[in-house]
Amino acid sequence: MSNPKGLEGIVATESSISSIIDDKLTYVGYDIDDLAENSSFEEIIYLLWNQKLPTKSELDSFKQELADNMNVPQEIIDHLKSYDLKTVHPMAAVRTAVSMLGLYDEEADVMEEDANRRKALRLQAKIPTIVTAFARIRKGEEPVSPKNDLGFAANFLYMLKGKDPVDIEVEAFNKALVLHADHELNASTFTARVCVATLSDVYSGVTAAIGALKGPLHGGANERVMKMLTEIGDEDQAIDYIKEKLANKEKIMGMGHRVYQNGDPRAKHLREMSKQLTEITGESKWYNMSVKIEDYITSEKGLPANVDFYSASVYHSLGIDHDLFTPIFAVSRVSGWLAHILEQFANNRLIRPRAEYVGPSKQAYTPINER
């Protein structure tokens, strides 16, 4: 039995949602560079779920449907308020609240395609409300209801900060959402597909995926990148800090990728945004430090920056708390998870690989009082 560690290189399914071929990323065949420059995040969700770009009227009504579904049940807000607000990580809060959402959805266990699509829309619309409500509650502030006339990216920033965001913030945040939306069979998407392939429900699939995204080898890296930059503090200290980490065999967060050999095509967009935004905030040191680290790791270890590396200084420049970076990843990636869940249901078979047994064999059983 062949057994590549971490399933490296194994093709586990067919998919028509996104592809990574020769270091190029496409969503439904559209190059990520074109989408990043031109699309709204709502257009991307529509594309991933329907395998086509929307017309203007399709997009308008899709945006309206999302805006109409953003409110979450008061019971969930009350539940968020009941957590230990000093210690609970927002990613754990979101994972729990998304699972709870299923309890308040009458269609949670209805398995028809139309019902699954309706649930997908409700989930996509409500996750930003959950993330921003928790962010405010733990600061002693009341959650802010979404504004029906704002787009998805603007609404997130509005609900987070309680004031209308400026255009450059909305533009940057929208682009970050577009860049994080889907990524072939990454660990959290695979988790979602494995979960629903048992014919479990959409809420279970997304809850499982959030759990997988939370880890530092996956979506949790973006928060750790900012922790590292903050620890370094001064750009002149960056290389010494990195050398020490490498000498201790520690990984540099935001660097390296299982699939890309010559660089993650999303990183250059985030790098440019980081440059622009840190100039505006007067904190170019975060960008300069990141460039130094990237150059060093790339030349010393041949490892490219991944999507999590520059997103850290982008979100920091937007005034977002560092432990919200991974929940924001989930706000975007849920669009991809849901697309994959719908695709899995459309052509389902249980996902059940094998393990190569390497434990002891032919053991003689010893009764408990003789051990």
Ligand X SMILES: O=C([O-])CC(=O)C(=O)O
**Site residues, ligand ACO (CB under 6 A):** 6, 217-219, 221, 251-258, 301, 303, 306-308
- Binding letters toward ligand X, positions 128-167, x by CB under 6 A: ----------------------------------------
Nearer to ligand X, 18 or 39 (CB): 18
Alpha-carbon span 170 to 151, nearest angstrom? 9
Q: Name which of ligand X, ligand ACO, none residue 6 binds, using a CB cut-off of 5 to 8 Å depending on partner kind.
A: ligand ACO
Nearer to ligand ACO, 136 or 218 (CB): 218
- Between CA 86 and CA 52 the distance in angstroms is 44
Residue 258 contacts ligand X per CB under 6 A:
yes
352, HSE (Cβ side, Cα atoms, 13 Å): 5
Which of ligand ACO, ligand X, none sits in contact with 221, Cβ below 5 to 8 A by type?
ligand ACO
Contact 273, 310 (CB under 8 A): yes
Smallest distance, ligand X to C-beta of residue 123, A: 18
- State yes or no: is 257 an active-site residue: yes
- Stretch (H or E) spanning 108: none
- Residue nearer to ligand ACO on the CB measure, 52 or 258: 258
As a whole number of angstroms, the distance between CA 222 and CA 328 comes to: 10
Cβ atoms of residues 346 and 197 within 8 Å: no
Contact partner, 45, from ligand X, ligand ACO, none, Cβ < 5-8 Å per class: none
The one catalytic residue among 201, 264, 308, 340:
308
Q: Which is nearer to ligand ACO, 81 or 245 (CB)?
A: 245
Residue 340 appears among annotated catalytic residues: no
The CB-of-138 to ligand ACO minimum distance in angstroms stands at 25
Q: Which of 96, 129, 186, 222 binds ligand X (CB under 6 A)?
A: 186
Residue closest to ligand X when measured from CB atoms: 186
**In Å, how far are 43, 63, 82, 155, 171 from 57, measured between CA atoms?**
12, 10, 42, 21, 22
- Site for ligand X contains 183 (CB under 6 A): yes
Catalytic, out of 23, 257, 322, 323: 257
- For the bound state, the minimum distance from the C-beta of residue 89 to ligand X, rounded and expressed in Å, comes to 19
Name 333's Cβ contacts closer than 8 Å, sequence gap at least 6. Answer: 180, 181, 182, 183, 188, 189, 209, 213, 219
**DSSP string for 129-166:** HHHHHHHHHTTT----PPPTTS-HHHHHHHHHHSSPPP
Report whether 199 contacts 346 (CB < 8 A).
Answer: no
Residue 312 C-beta: closest distance to ligand ACO, Å: 10
Cβ atoms 221, 254 nearer than 8 A: yes
Using alpha carbons, select from 147, 16, 1 the residue that is nearest to residue 71.
147
Q: Would you please indicate which residues are annotated as catalytic (active-site) residues?
A: 257, 308
Enumerate binding residues for ligand X (CB under 6 A): 183, 186, 258-259, 306-307
